[in-house]
Amino acid sequence: MNKVDNLQYVDELIYFYVNQPIRIMKIYEQVHMAKVFCLETKKNVIIDIGAITKEPSREMSISIRWLEGMRK
């Protein structure tokens, strides 16, 4: 996985969360999280810094919501 080195908020930089383009709004280093703005959905969310990449991910993944339905 492509880790982002020395994350700092710079308005022009676009990173990716899986395949979604994002902008980093604030970094919470103590808890390894970042507040990001999703450019496609126009929403602010908080995610793990380790999930932020410089390029979109092409890896196969499944939604956690899909797994939740399997508990029943």
Question: pLDDT at residue 69 above 50?
Answer: yes
5-49, pLDDT tens digit by residue? 555 555 578 999 988 999 999 999 999 999 999 999 999 999 999
With CA atoms as reference, report the closest residue to 50 among 23, 26, 64, 31.
31
Q: How much is the pTM? A: 0.67
Task: Please tell me whether residue 65 adopts helix, strand or coil conformation.
Answer: helix
6-16, pLDDT tens digit by residue? 555 555 789 99
Taking the C-alpha atoms of residue 71 and residue 54, their distance in angstroms, rounded to an integer, is 34
Question: pLDDT at residue 1 above 50?
Answer: no
Entry field: residues in the chain? 72
